């Protein structure tokens, strides 16, 4: 599992003309300490050096050009300043005052060149804006992502409500095609941001924003809430899982399936299920059962997901129970209460939850 998390090699189809800038950009990123360059390679949200789709790639090059230019300009200005400070001057009586006129050429030339560069950058950035604002083809898949304090509801709508897929914190998309994301908020403003795929867009209550993403190669791409939304803001991540069209269809079909209740009356699993309906079902939904809450993540296929609590804990049975019992300690202020459970209840609930795959 962890294997898939390792940094990906950049796609091969990168523009040749721009790739010469890559060393310069790398240099810019590594300026104060070479340690950072090594570390940069591991940062999953590093949009500056990594792009895996057409909605972010032109922006990445724009970033390189701007950062490269900034470094060059910074160096030139610093050099000018240092020479201005240290250049040899005939020794002079400090009571002497230089003439006021003169030097205007500095302003004319300096501002002239700056204006010229800025004008070029305006054009370039507008071209990039045009390239990333709209997908190249109409997206066939629309996903609605709703921000909650502090997790993400993910819905694949379908004309037939039975076919609608609802999950949380893990957004699956087919590789190589644009996907339209409709962005909503259930409470406060959040921002949807999967930096290696696209820039961020705010999720504003009362408003439906849209953006598109596309991943050109299969993999897992990290995302993060990028608008301060309260105590759990730091703990609100999501993942985009890009997979082949077949894998995606297989996943979607699996997610559509409601659970059946195979538990023998009086078994531990059945006890766990009853516990769940009593204690969890008011907020959480498990399709095919009485649990139909909409305030919290849909848990129908809980075990298909990699993470718990929006990227806080890996989805293992131990961490799951840890989360249920200690939610308020692990994510203070969350809507998920810390639930007091006896050992018997724990194992029963655990048994029940382990069937949600």
Residues between 163 and 202 with contacts to other proteins, criterion CB under 8 A: 183, 187-189, 191, 193, 195, 198-202
**Vertex 33, ends 47 and 85: CA angle to 5°?**
110
With tokens 């993060």, the residue in question is: 224
3-class state of residue 34 by DSSP: helix
Q: Which is nearer to other proteins, 11 or 199 (CB)?
A: 199
3-class state of residue 308 by DSSP: strand
Interface residue with other proteins among 17, 95, 160, 266 (CB under 8 A) is 95
Count of residues that bind other proteins according to CB under 8 A? 100
Q: Which is nearer to other proteins, 105 or 264 (CB)?
A: 105
70 binds other proteins (CB under 8 A): yes
Q: Which is nearer to other proteins, 98 or 266 (CB)?
A: 98
260 binds other proteins (CB under 8 A): no
10 binds other proteins (CB under 8 A): no
| Closest C-alpha to 272, from 307, 315, 309, 317 | 317
CB 178 within 8 A of CB 131: no
Write out the H or E segment, with its range, that includes residue 344. Answer: helix 343-353
With tokens 């997206």, the residue in question is: 139
Task: Identify the DSSP state of 103.
Answer: -
Interface residue with other proteins among 42, 278, 318, 357 (CB under 8 A) is 42
Q: Minimal distance in Å, beta carbon 283 to other proteins?
A: 18
Q: Minimal distance in Å, beta carbon 6 to other proteins?
A: 11
Interface residue with other proteins among 10, 21, 24, 66 (CB under 8 A) is 66
Stretch that binds other proteins, among 113-121, 166-174, 239-247, 279-287 (CB under 8 A): 113-121
271 binds other proteins (CB under 8 A): no
- Give dist(CA 234, CA 331) in Å, integer: 10
Write out the H or E segment, with its range, that includes residue 239. Answer: strand 237-243
Looking only at residues 201 through 230 of this chain, which bind other proteins when binding is defined by CB under 8 A?
201-202, 204-207, 209-210, 222, 224-230
Other residues' Cβ atoms within 10 Å of the Cβ of residue 18: 16
Looking only at residues 320 through 349 of this chain, which bind other proteins when binding is defined by CB under 8 A?
332-333
């Amino acid at each position: 599992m962890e294997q898939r998390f390792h940094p990906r090699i950049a796609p091969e189809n990168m523009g040749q003309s721009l790739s010469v800038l890559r060393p310069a950009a790398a240099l810019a990123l590594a300026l104060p300490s070479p340690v950072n360059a090594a570390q940069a390679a591991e940062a999953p949200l590093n949009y500056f050096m990594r792009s895996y789709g057409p909605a972010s790639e032109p922006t990445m090059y724009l970033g390189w050009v701007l950062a490269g230019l900034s470094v060059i300009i910074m160096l030139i200005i610093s050099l000018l300043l240092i020479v201005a400070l240290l250049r040899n001057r005939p020794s002079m009586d400090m009571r002497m005052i230089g003439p006021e006129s003169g030097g205007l050429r500095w302003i004319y030339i300096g501002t002239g060149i700056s204006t010229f560069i800025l004008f070029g950058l305006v054009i370039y950035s507008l071209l990039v804006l045009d390239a990333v604002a709209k997908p190249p083809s109409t997206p066939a898949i629309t996903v609605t992502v709703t921000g909650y304090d502090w997790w993400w509801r993910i819905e694949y709508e379908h004309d037939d409500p039975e076919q609608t897929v609802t999950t949380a914190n893990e957004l699956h998309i087919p590789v190589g095609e644009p996907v339209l994301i409709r962005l909503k908020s259930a409470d406060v403003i959040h921002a949807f941001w999967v930096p290696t795929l696209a820039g961020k867009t705010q999720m504003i209550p009362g408003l439906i924003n849209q953006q598109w993403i596309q991943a050109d190669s299969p993999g897992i791409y990290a995302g993060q809430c990028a608008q301060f939304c309260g105590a759990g803001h730091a703990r609100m991540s999501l993942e985009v899982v890009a997979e082949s069209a077949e894998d995606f269809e297989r996943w979607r079909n699996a997610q559509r399936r409601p659970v059946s209740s195979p538990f023998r009356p009086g078994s531990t699993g059945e006890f766990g299920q009853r516990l769940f309906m009593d204690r969890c079902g008011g907020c959480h939904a498990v399709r095919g059962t009485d649990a139909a809450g909409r305030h919290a993540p849909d848990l129908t296929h809980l075990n298909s997901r990699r993470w718990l609590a929006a990227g806080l804990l890996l989805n293992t049975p131990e961490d799951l129970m840890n989360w249920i019992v200690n939610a308020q300690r692990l994510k203070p202020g969350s809507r998920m209460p810390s639930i007091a459970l006896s050992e018997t209840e724990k194992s029963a609930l655990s048994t029940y939850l382990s069937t949600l795959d």
